Structure 1
Amino acid sequence: MGDRTVAEWEGRQRKAAPPPGAGTSVRGHVGPFLLARLRRPRRPRFWFEILLIAVSYWTYSLIRNAVPEQRAEALRNADWLWRLENHLGIAVEDSVNHALNSATWLIVGMNYYYATLHFVVTLGVLVWLYRSHPGRYTAARLALFATTAVALLGYYLFPLAPPRLMNGGGFIDTVVVHQTWGSMASGDLKHMSNQYAAMPSMHIGWSLWCGLTLYALARVPWVRVLGLLYPLATLSVIVATANHFWLDAVGGMLCLSFGFATARLWYGALPYTLPRAAGAPALLPAKV
């Protein structure tokens, strides 16, 4: 994807803007002008971004864990979802879980993957965007934040037990069996996290955001390939460790679609089509 310059972007805005004195008052221009300033991608400030990300994740975790653990309803929903997947012919999570659990080295690695890369890779991509694509950073960050925010509605409206907690599901909790710390919702750490917030999967929402960002903006071919493989590997991990159903991943993708739609509405363009350098205005709303 070629980089757009600020000059090219501003040229598009001038062409789209109405000519001066086109029958509108000064007051009529104030609203669009202020809105345009708010929507203008700016160079992010390091300490503000660190504080914003820390506060946002703390708030997300607080709200997620404050959602009542509706165990009975979560288990009923899990049974319903499992029946639905069987009806659709995609209920193979138990087979994947048991097959990969037999390879101890692999499943232990997946446990640690589940616990760490979810945060490490996402933060790494945010830092890379901040340094290399400042003009696209705020829009991409908005897409990620909006994705995470809408996921909270899913946790509240549709409490869902992960496969490993189903009654009679036959799934293996790989963290418990192999005594690793591969999940905040297993073992000694289970009291620190809402165990019935499996739908949607933010492991998928965040990893797909990372993958699309790397594929769209990275210039090194192998990095772009890794961007495509990362969400696929994450999907394998969340299923193999019995932390999610396939359809939880679909929920994560829908949340990401909402996130990108939010960024598109606010900035007038998808994050990856904005100029690489900061300072170009976003698209102004069309005149009626």
Structure 2
Amino acid sequence: MGHPNMTVPYEPPQWNSAPAWKLPGWGEPVMVASILIASMVFNRRRGFRILDRRRRRRDGLLDDEPDSARSSDDLLTRDQMLANESDDDVSAETLSTVKNAPKKRRCCGTVLYTPNTSRFADHFHSRIMQKFPFLMEMFYWIITFAFYRISKILSQAVFSKTGIWEIAMDHGLAILEFEQFSWLSFVWPVHERDVQQWFMHGHQSLLTILNRSYALIHIPGTVGFLGWYYYVAPSFNTFAVVRRTMTLTNFLAFTIFIFYPCMPPRLLPPEYGFLDSVGRNNGQSVWMEGKYVNSLAAMPSMHFAYAFSIGCVMMYHSGIFRRTLEPGEIRKSKLWVTFYVWFGLFYPLFILVTIVATANHYYLDACVGFLVTIIGFLCNRVFLVFLPLEDLLLWCLRLEKPVPSTADGARRSIRA
């Protein structure tokens, strides 16, 4: 159950801080939906009219290129798709002359030809997608949330006989014991309980800020970041790397949630000295409690994983560590460089303090969150193997994938 030296005498806390805001159950979902809709509108394709098909050729968006290459994640060009073509089933000469020729995809060392959806470019729902290309990103994150929901169900099924609550508590106590008594204990000289107690004694006004930040920044902030970076990223490829990295980080973390349920410190028995500062007085967030939330998913910390990802993107976006910029990208002013660097450093540290001070995560949770983010970045291109499935899905829906509007604003300002 845990090392006996980890327990402390329990005393009822004297609260001077405020918990998280007690919002109605629909409040936070409406907030996130509003951010998504605002991102969709803000990233719309200017000058493109859904009902005016005569503008198609002039806009140069829904053209007659046989492979609709610009609509894929890699924004493959027609020449790239036909390069090094052998005399397999379809020759390069044939593909280059046939209208709506199949797309050429490489998957697991195999060349696949998938249906080309450019013939559906004039369909009404395709034109809606062309006008609001961020809808595609919203679709990806709906899939991610669905997998998160499944992770809770699967974890409960895996531990249905042994009791998931007891297993999760054992895992939480094992993490505490590892941090405090293993040979790596020097990495964490200040225990999580001591951090929370520092805020509890004389600094509860700061704890109020952390309580409300924990509930309201994680999901709305991350969604808002994705909408913002979709617009300002120097290219869609750069944005796609960030999106794939965060998505793979999610999937790796969700897999750990299934097989290693872990109780956060705030849910441990009171003799271990942790307080639920966020949830007291029923000040819960819809993202922390409810049938759609896995409350035994402390390991790894997705709060820190997201914050670390966002921090790295901010550092990259500043351009300070890059000798050469991407095509069309311009150097930022010293004021903006300072802001991006400062934010890139401050935000992950702020979230780390928040998750520890509010007893929602252990130090080790943040460390593993850091590791899964690094793995997600190094292996993010693994998602490209799903492009053939995406092509088939779009074909079934009679839908042409939209051309991303990323960096359109920057290109307009350069032309001006």
TM-score (norm 2): 0.52
Q: After the TM superposition, which residues 24-173 of structure 1 pair with which residues of structure 2 at under 5 Å, given as runs?
A: 25-27=86-88, 34-35=105-106, 45-53=133-141, 55-66=142-153, 67-68=155-156, 70-87=164-181, 88-89=185-186, 90=188, 92-102=191-201, 103-133=203-233, 134-167=236-269, 168-173=271-276
Matched, 1:204 2:321: no
How has the CA–CA distance of structure 1 residues 183 and 94 changed in structure 2, closer, same or farther, with 3 Å as cutoff? farther
8 Å CA contact 1:77–1:159 kept in 2: the answer is yes
**Which amino acid in 2 is paired with 1:48?**
M
TM-fit CA distance, 1:264:
5.0
- What does the per-residue CA deviation read over 1:72-120, in whole Å, with 9 as the maximum and x for residues that have no partner? 1111111111111112142610000111123222112111111111123
Aligned length: 243
Look up the match of 1:228: 345
Q: For the Cα contact (< 8 Å) 1:101–1:240, is it kept in 2?
A: no
SS in 2 for 1:243: coil
Aligned partners of 2:279 and 2:232: how far apart in 1? Answer: 41
Distance in 1 between residues matched to 2:197 and 2:286, nearest whole Å: 18
CA–CA distance in structure 1, aligned partners of residues 242 and 286 of structure 2 = 27
Query: C-alpha deviations, 1:117-155, integer Å up to 9, x for none?
Result: 112321222112211222311221011100001101111
* Greater RCO, 1 or 2 (C-alpha within 8 Å, sep 6+): 1
Structure 2, gaps ≥5 residues long: 1-75, 93-102, 113-129, 157-162, 319-331, 385-405, 409-416
Verify the 8 A CA contact 2:317 2:340 in the aligned structure 1: no
Q: Does the Cα contact within 8 Å between 2:265 and 2:361 map onto a contact in 1?
A: yes
Specify the SS of the correspondent of 1:79: helix
For 1:35 and 1:243, locate their aligned partners in 2 and report how far apart those are by CA, in whole Å: 43
Kindly report structure 1 stretches of 4+ aligned residues shifted beyond 6 Å.
none
Residue 257 (1) aligns with residue 374 (2): yes
Alpha-carbon separation, structure 1, partners of 2:307 and 2:216: 12
Say which is worse superposed, 222-231 or 145-154, in terms of deviation: 222-231
Match of 2:345, SS? helix
- RMSD (Å) for aligned C-alpha atoms: 3.2
Cα separation, 2, equivalents of 1:182 and 1:266: 32
CA contact (8 A) 2:303 2:351 kept: yes
Give the Cα–Cα distance (whole angstroms) in 2 for the partners of residues 233 and 162 of structure 1. 19
Does the Cα contact within 8 Å between 1:200 and 1:249 map onto a contact in 2? yes
CA distance change for structure 1 residues 109 and 146 in 2, over 3 Å: closer, same or farther? same
Greater alpha carbon shift after TM alignment, 126-135 vs 146-155: 126-135
Is the CA contact (8 Å cut-off) linking 1:108 and 1:180 kept in structure 2?
no
Instruction: Identify the range of structure 1 (233-242 vs 59-68) with the bigger mean alpha-carbon deviation.
Output: 59-68
Q: What is the identity, as a one-letter code, of the residue corresponding to 1:223?
A: Y
**118-127 or 44-53, which moves further after superposition?**
44-53
State whether residues 112 and 182 of structure 1, in contact with CA within 8 Å, keep that contact through their aligned partners in structure 2. no
CA distance in 1: counterparts of 2:291 and 2:226, whole angstroms: 29
Taking only the aligned residue pairs, the percentage that are identical comes to 26
Give ranges in structure 1 of 5+ residues lacking alignment: 1-12, 268-275, 279-288
Kept after mapping to 2: 8 A contact 1:211/1:230? yes
- Residue 171 of structure 2 aligns with an amino acid whose one-letter code is N
When Rg is computed on C-alpha atoms for both structures, the one with the higher figure is 2
1 CA distance for matches of 2:368 and 2:265? 16
